[in-house]
Amino acid sequence: MAVFVVLAVTISAITETSTRATVAVFGTYVVFTFRIWEQLPLVVAYISRGFTWPESTPTGAALFTALNPIRAFSNVLGGLPVGANGGMISAPPSEPAFYERPAFAVVVLLGWIAATTAGGVYSFRASDL
């Protein structure tokens, strides 16, 4: 996936050693793949409420979850006609929220690529080689 390639190159550009870059890239991949990203709103709510678990899911958690590049890619594939995605993704809901629609998912993926590339270029140019 292009987002992870851009993330890996950017992390490599901003870290000082290849070991740090490898660990950071692997950690980033784990955060997105093993759904740790989806738990971040709950952790923030837990900390902000004085270390007590919230009774319900925080407002905006579903939108935050949709910003995960893997979820965005799934939402793009979900927009394909049923069967065109090889059966990998189930059919999308009949009336998806705006952040579950394929157009929003494409914007999310392009946003990850653009923001990560811009951050890497800025950091690389500012570094003293």
Average pLDDT of span 91-100:
78
The letter for the amino acid at 33 is T
CA atoms within 13 A on the CB side of 68: 23
DSSP string of 77-95?
HHTSPTTTTTTSSPPPPSS
How do residues 25-67 score in pLDDT, each as one tens digit?
A: 999 999 999 999 999 999 999 999 999 998 888 989 999 999 9
